[in-house]
Amino acid sequence: MIGIIVGTHGKFSEEIIRSSEMIFGKQENVKTVTFEPGEGPEDLLAKYEKALSEMNTEDGVIVMVDLFGGSPFNAASRLVIENEKMDIVTGVSLPMLLETFGVREVLPIEEVINTAINAGKDGIKSFKQGLLNSEEEEL
């Protein structure tokens, strides 16, 4: 099973996993990394290394972070660059996690990454634009 690490500024990673498990159920091979005030890049790197040491990484690992270029991304990139079975997906969201949970046991890592990216994009909607599109389709 492909492992997932969610790395974010603050406790967002812990809370989004808790929320996702309310919907999808308890998940195995999932870890969180938090970047707290007063910590630096080496602290984050150590947290990622600890998370990886506690996971099954045989099928690969996807690190989902909040921001491209942020500290959680930068620290993770130091590990991912040297490992073919790892990648980083930015903009972690609840739709992204849920879709990824549903396919990470049956698809190869490249397809799971595409699923995560597409779910993140598809999860962005406008209520009013959706209503206008529905009304136009009915005409």
Residues designated catalytic: 9
Instruction: Tokens 């007063």: give the residue.
Output: 38
Strands 86-90 and 61-65: parallel
Which token pair is 77? 């990139």
Dihedral angle, C-alpha 121, 122, 123, 124, nearest 10 °: 70
Beta bridge partners of 65: 7, 90
Beta bridge partners of 3: 61
Which token pair is 106? 């049956």
